[in-house]
Amino acid sequence: MSREELMLEVEDLHVYYGAIHALKGISLKVPKGAIITLIGANGAGKTTTLTTIAGLVKARSGRIKFMGEDITNKPPHTVTQMGIAMVPEGRRIFPNLTVYENLMMGAYTRKDREGIQEDLEWVFQLFPRLKERLTQLGGTLSGGEQQMLAISRALMSRPKLLMMDEPSLGLAPLLVMEVFDVIKKINGEGTTILLVEQNAMGALKTAHYGYVLETGKIVLEGPTDELLQNEEVKKAYLGVA
Amino acid sequence: MERRLKTSTKVYLTLGLIALSILLLYVASKTLDTYAIRILRLIAVFGVMAVSYTFINGITGLFSLGHAGFVAIGAYTSALLTMSPMQKEMSYILEPLIWPLNVIQTDFFTATLAAGVMAALFAFLIGYPSLRLTGDYLAIATLGFSEIIRIMALNMQSVTNGALGLKGLPEYSNIWWTWGWLFITVVVITSLTYSSFGRALKAIRDDAIAAEAMGINVFKHQLMAFVISGFFAGVGGSLYAHLLTTIDPRPTTIGVMLTFYLLIMIVLGGLGSITGAIIGAALFAILSEWLRFVEGTMHIGKWTIHGIPGMRMVIFSLLFIITMLVWRRGIMGMEELTWDKLYNWILRLRPRRKEG
Q: Check whether A112 has a pLDDT greater than 70.
A: yes
The answer to whether residue B355 sits within a structural domain is: no
To the nearest whole Å, the CA of B213 is away from the closest chain A CA by: 6
Whether residues A8 and A124 share a domain: the answer is no
Whether residues A110 and A180 share a domain: the answer is no
pLDDT in tens, A89-101: 888 999 999 999 9
The answer to whether the beta carbons of residues A62 and A22 sit under 8 Å apart is no
What ipTM was assigned to the predicted interfaces of this complex?
A: 0.86
The answer to whether residue B120 sits within a structural domain is: yes
Phi, psi dihedrals of residue B36, rounded to the nearest 5°: -65, -40
Supply angle C-alpha B147, B150, B154, rounded to 5. 135
Of A158, A181, A201, the residue at which a domain comes to its end is A158
Burial environment of residue A7 by CB neighbours within 10 A (0 to 12, 13 to 18, 19 or more): buried
Percentage above 70 pLDDT, chain A:
98
The answer to whether the beta carbons of residues B4 and B340 sit under 8 Å apart is yes
| A95/B200 CB distance under 8 A | no
What's the confidence (pLDDT) of residue A237?
81
Residue ranges of chain B with per-residue pLDDT less than 50: 355-356
Print the domain residue range for B170.
39-294+305-344
- Give the nearest partner residue to A92 out of B196, B205, B207, using CB atoms: B207
Between chain A and chain B, the number of residue pairs with CB atoms below 8 A apart is 68
- Give the nearest partner residue to B213 out of A76, A101, A104, using CB atoms: A76
The answer to whether the beta carbons of residues A27 and A218 sit under 8 Å apart is yes
Whether residues A68 and A97 share a domain: the answer is no
Of A131, A158, A185, the residue at which a domain comes to its end is A158
Whether residues A41 and A144 share a domain: the answer is no
What's the confidence (pLDDT) of residue A133?
92
Q: How far apart are CA A65 and CA A62, in angstroms?
A: 10
| B196/A108 CB distance under 8 A | yes
Chain B partners of A76 at a C-beta cutoff of 8 Å?
212-213, 215
| B216/A97 CB distance under 8 A | no
Domain count across chain A: 2
Whether residues A31 and A119 share a domain: the answer is no
The answer to whether residue B24 sits within a structural domain is: no
H helical segments located in B194-327: 196-206, 208-213, 218-244, 251-254, 256-269, 274-290, 311-326
Q: Which residues contact A63 (CB under 8 A, 6 or more apart)?
A: A9, A10, A11, A12, A13, A70, A72
Q: How far apart are CA B249 and CA B251, in angstroms?
A: 6
Whether residues A69 and A135 share a domain: the answer is no
A56 touches chain B (CB under 8 A): yes
* Touching B: A residues 117-136, CB under 8 Å: 135
Residue of A nearest to B59 (CA): A96
Tell whether pTM > 0.90: no
The answer to whether the beta carbons of residues B142 and B128 sit under 8 Å apart is no
Q: Which residues contact A132 (CB under 8 A, 6 or more apart)?
A: none
pLDDT in tens, B308-331: 787 888 888 888 888 888 888 888
Phi, psi dihedrals of residue B225, rounded to the nearest 5°: -60, -40
Q: Give the distance, in angstroms, between the CA of residue B315 and the centroid of all CA atoms in the same chain.
A: 22
The answer to whether residue B353 sits within a structural domain is: no
* DSSP bridge pairs for A26: A13
Burial environment of residue B52 by CB neighbours within 10 A (0 to 12, 13 to 18, 19 or more): buried
| B217/A109 CB distance under 8 A | no
Domain count across chain B: 1
Chain A partners of B200 at a C-beta cutoff of 8 Å?
105, 108
The answer to whether residue B9 sits within a structural domain is: no
Q: Check whether A169 has a pLDDT greater than 90.
A: no
Whether residues A76 and A102 share a domain: the answer is no
Print the domain residue range for A3.
1-83+160-241
DSSP for B78-89 reads HHHHHS-HHHHH
The answer to whether residue B78 sits within a structural domain is: yes
A217 vs B1: which has the higher pLDDT: A217
What's the confidence (pLDDT) of residue B353?
53
Residue of A nearest to B216 (CA): A77
| A93/B205 CB distance under 8 A | no
Of A112, A135, A158, the residue at which a domain comes to its end is A158
Whether residues A138 and A204 share a domain: the answer is no
Whether residues A17 and A39 share a domain: the answer is yes
Provide the CATH number for the domain around residue B52: 1.10.3470
* pLDDT, mean of residues A112-124: 93
Chain B partners of A109 at a C-beta cutoff of 8 Å?
214-215
Provide the CATH number for the domain around residue A60: 3.40.50.300
Chain A partners of B203 at a C-beta cutoff of 8 Å?
94, 97, 101, 105
Q: How far apart are CA B18 and CA B24, in angstroms?
A: 10
What's the confidence (pLDDT) of residue B91?
84
Whether residues A164 and A241 share a domain: the answer is yes
Whether residues A204 and A229 share a domain: the answer is yes
Q: Check whether A3 has a pLDDT greater than 60.
A: no
* DSSP bridge pairs for A66: A8, A69
Whether residues A197 and A150 share a domain: the answer is no
The answer to whether residue B27 sits within a structural domain is: no
Residue of A nearest to B195 (CA): A101
What's the confidence (pLDDT) of residue B7?
86
The answer to whether residue B30 sits within a structural domain is: no
Identify the CA nearest to A162 among candidates A36, A28, A63, A25: A36
